[in-house]
Every structure is written in structure tokens, then in C-alpha cells.
């Protein structure tokens, strides 16, 4: 029996959706703001050819109105096929298979064998589990207990963040984590062991106070995870996606400083005013226009990288 070609299925479905719109490949590329080569690669993908990037397929799905989640699953299964052959069945507990490629398919110290227990591959599996989880509105208080990692996505119409704004939540605006607290209670009223809930509640309040952002335009993915895997998973997520609020516009996750430490406003508070304590601080060394220009340059480079 011939092996199922997930990449060919993906390419065929994307091609059918393009044809249904009556668009040429060039017209689709213009609407996706991607090169014709990268779009053509996605439409004609199959085993034996380079797989398209996750970002390119995600944007094509959004433009064509396809089932983004299902088609990205085909892409991941196809990539897994290229590296490991057919994916195995789900575990008895229903846990998800991780079907993306490993960070290092052929570690030289193992003679070309893939070692799933290498630290970075374990951390990759945490990253993939987060990215495979559903994105929920940030305004919805998560019911989860524990600490772990999370990624915040923007889906609104704020002009500056349009390059990462997408219903499919493929490019995070911010990646963060929480660690276990030794205290039994905190200012949010939640007990110790509720780190993710507490942190996301803080982020909700920060955005609600902001003058030029709306809480309804934000979604989040979160994953409770063992503490030892948190730093590595965050490092990989930030390294892969270069989220704006982790790199160019720091300060979103800042807390009110003590009076002795009051200094300049963070870049985030300079561009997104609203936190009462930041209003009393000296202006940031970079003005709003300079910060906006830096974000545009960053997102333009990131877009080019994925073409």
C-alpha cells in the first residue's frame, strides 16, 4: 500500500481553493504579501520537494478562507514524514503526537540517530505542545492551575501590528512564563500554584488600561509545564518568532517599580500609555516615532525571512 503523501494533499487543497477564487498564483502572492516563489512552493508541495514554511501556509489559508488548523496539521505531518516516515498512533491517553522536525535531525555524536531525550528536543516538544493548543481570548480567565509558558497574539486592526495580526494566531506578539511562587497568597487573591492565571490576569489589566489597544483583540495560548523545561522552551519560542514585545518594545511585563527605582518609562509604556504608575515617570529616551519605525523595520525583516 502506497504511503500517504500529506504534503501532496496540502498542495492539492490549496490549489483547489485558489482555483475556486479564480486567482492566479501571482494574484494570490500579492494578496498574501509573499513572493510568487514561496506561494508556488506551497501550492505544488509534495514528498521529495522542500516543504513550505508554516507561516506561508498559515497566511495562504487565511487569505483563501481555508481550515487553517487542519491544513497546518497536514504540513506538520508531511514534514514529519520527510524526517521520520509515517507518524505513529496517538498514545492511549490521547496525548498529541509531535510531528514537526527536530531541532537537530542527525546529531553527530550519535552517528546520525535522532535522540528524543536530548535536552533541546525535549524543550522543542514543549514548544510544539504550546503551539498546538487552542488560542483563547485573553479576556477569558483561564481555569488552569500551575505554572508554565504562554504566548499572546494580536488579531485586531492596529496599523503597526498588522503584519502579525491574523485569526489563526501564528505569530506571537509576546512570549512569557511563570515560575512556582513560595508565597501562599498574592495581590491577585489567587493561591500559590496559580502562576499562569495570575500572570494572564495581570496582562489583561495592563491592556485594559492602555489608551490605544483593546483587550478584545488579544488571544493567548498557555501550557502548564514542569519548571525545568520552561527557560529552554521560552528561549526557542523567542528565537523562532522574535516577538515584538520581547525584542523591540520591552516593558509589557514590567511591574510598578519602587520610588527609589523610578526612572524612565519603558519603550512599551511610551508607545502604549495607560498604566498610572508609568505616567509619572520620565519619558523614554526613544520617542514614539522612533519606536514605531523600529517596529516596522523589525516586522519587515521578519516577513522577508519567512518568504
**CB contact set of 180 (below 8 Å; sequence gap of 6+):** 147, 192, 193, 195, 227
> Phi, psi at residue 230, to the nearest 5°?
-65, -55
**pLDDT tens digits along 62-99:** 889 888 888 888 887 777 665 443 333 344 444 434 44
> Residues 56, 2: one domain?
yes
Q: Which three cell numbers stand for residue 249?
A: 518594545
Domain holding 29: CATH number? 1.10.260.40
> Residues 198, 274: one domain?
no
Q: Report how far residue 36's alpha carbon sits from residue 32's, in angstroms, rounded to the nearest whole number.
A: 10
How many CB atoms lie under 10 A from the CB of residue 2? 4
Q: Report how far residue 17's alpha carbon sits from residue 61's, in angstroms, rounded to the nearest whole number.
A: 9
The answer to whether residue 91 is domain-embedded is no
The answer to whether residue 118 is domain-embedded is no
**The domain boundary residue, chosen from 242, 267, 295:** 242
The answer to whether residue 121 is domain-embedded is no
pLDDT at 149: 96
The answer to whether residue 213 is domain-embedded is yes
> Residues 279, 222: one domain?
no
148 backbone φψ class: left, alpha, beta (φ>0; ψ -120 to 50): left
> Residues 230, 264: one domain?
no
pLDDT at 135: 93
Q: Which residues of the chain have pLDDT under 70?
A: 1-3, 80-112, 114, 181-193, 258-262, 302-307
Neighbouring-strand partners of residue 111: none
> Residues 146, 231: one domain?
yes
CB-CB contact of 263 with 281 (8 Å): yes
Q: Of all helices (H) and strands (E), which one includes residue 278?
A: helix 276-279
Q: Which long-range contacts (CB under 8 A, 24 or more apart) does 82-87 make?
A: 82/7, 82/47, 82/51, 83/114, 84/114, 85/3, 86/3, 86/4
pLDDT at 105: 43
pLDDT at 97: 41
Structural domain that includes position 298: 259-305
> Residues 231, 264: one domain?
no
Q: Is 241 strand, coil or helix? A: helix
Amino acid at each position: 500500500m502506497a504511503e500517504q503523501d500529506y504534503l501532496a494533499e496540502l498542495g492539492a487543497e490549496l490549489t483547489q481553493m485558489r482555483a475556486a477564487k479564480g486567482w492566479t498564483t501571482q494574484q494570490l502572492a500579492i494578496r498574501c504579501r509573499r513572493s510568487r516563489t514561496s506561494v508556488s512552493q506551497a501550492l505544488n508541495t509534495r514528498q521529495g520537494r522542500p516543504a513550505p514554511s508554516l507561516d506561508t501556509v498559515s497566511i495562504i489559508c487565511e487569505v483563501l478562507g481555508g481550515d487553517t488548523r487542519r491544513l497546518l496539521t497536514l504540513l506538520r505531518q508531511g514534514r514529519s514524514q520527510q524526517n521520520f516516515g509515517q507518524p505513529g498512533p496517538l498514545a492511549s491517553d490521547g496525548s498529541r503526537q509531535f510531528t514537526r522536525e527536530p531541532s537537530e535531525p542527525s546529531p553527530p555524536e550519535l552517528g546520525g540517530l535522532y535522540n528524543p531525550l536530548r535536552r533541546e528536543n525535549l524543550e522543542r516538544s514543549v514548544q510544539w505542545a504550546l503551539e498546538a493548543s487552542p488560542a483563547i481570548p485573553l479576556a477569558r480567565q483561564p481555569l488552569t492551575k500551575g505554572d508554565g509558558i504562554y504566548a499572546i497574539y494580536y488579531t485586531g486592526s492596529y496599523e503597526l501590528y498588522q503584519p502579525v495580526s491574523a485569526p489563526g494566531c501564528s505569530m506571537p506578539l509576546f512570549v512569557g512564563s511563570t515560575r512556582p511562587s513560595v508565597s501562599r497568597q498574592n495581590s491577585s487573591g489567587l493561591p500559590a500554584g496559580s502562576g499562569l492565571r495570575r500572570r494572564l490576569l495581570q496582562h489583561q489589566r495592563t491592556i485594559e488600561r492602555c489608551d490605544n489597544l483593546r483587550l478584545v483583540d488579544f488571544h493567548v495560548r498557555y501550557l502548564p509545564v514542569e519548571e525545568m523545561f520552561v527557560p529552554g522552551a521560552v528561549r526557542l519560542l523567542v528565537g523562532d518568532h522574535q516577538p515584538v514585545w520581547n525584542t523591540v518594545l520591552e516593558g509589557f511585563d514590567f511591574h510598578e517599580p519602587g520610588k527609589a527605582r523610578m526612572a524612565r518609562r519603558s519603550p512599551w509604556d511610551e508607545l502604549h500609555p495607560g498604566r498610572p504608575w508609568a505616567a509619572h515617570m520620565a519619558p523614554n529616551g526613544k520617542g514614539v516615532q522612533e519606536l514605531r519605525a523600529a517596529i516596522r523595520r523589525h516586522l519587515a525583516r521578519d516577513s522577508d525571512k519567512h518568504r
